[in-house]
Amino acid sequence: GDSVTQMEGPVTLSEEAFLTINCTYTATGYPSLFWYVQYPGEGLQLLLKATKADDKGSNKGFEATYRKETTSFHLEKGSVQVSDSAVYFCASGELGNEKLTFGTGTRLTIIP
């Protein structure tokens, strides 16, 4: 079945550091790919998405590119801030399969 594997956490970085959180997926077809963010005590918010190969999703300085050849959707940000501290979930969704398949989440902590 479909699965999503993402970088184990927790990840701790200093403010203004470069961030990469790896995500790879398996799917039978051509899924849409998502990054959701969960701030402390809150629900999941969509951060960005991409629906086809080579699409780049971007939001709030975060970017991720849909790489079909490597089945990856790595999340990047050039300069992280303390306010980026949260848990980040990679997810895939494929038509014909009603659910989103989630990775286990990566807890990110940014220290000043």
Partner 1 sequence: NAGVTQTPKFRILKIGQSMTLQCTQDMNHNYMYWYRQDPGMGLKLIYYSVGAGITDKGEVPNGYNVSRSTTEDFPLRLELAAPSQTSVYFCASSYRGPGQGVFETQYFGPGTRLLVL
Residues that bind partner 1 (CB under 8 A): 4, 31-32, 34, 36, 42-46, 49, 51-52, 89, 91, 93-95, 98-105
CB of 11 to partner 1, least distance (A): 14
Q: Cα separation of 68 and 59, whole Å?
A: 21
Under DSSP, the state recorded for 97 is S
**Which token pair is 102?**
């989630």
Give whichever of 29 and 112 is closer to partner 1, judged by the CB atom: 29
Q: Cβ-count burial of 97 within 10 angstroms (0-12 exposed, 13-18 middle, 19+ buried)? A: middle
Of 96 and 112, nearer to partner 1 (C-beta) is 96
Minimum distance between the CB of residue 30 and partner 1, rounded to whole angstroms?
9
Give yes or no for a contact between 26 and 19, defined as CB atoms under 8 angstroms apart: no
Least Cβ distance, residue 49 to partner 1 (angstroms): 6
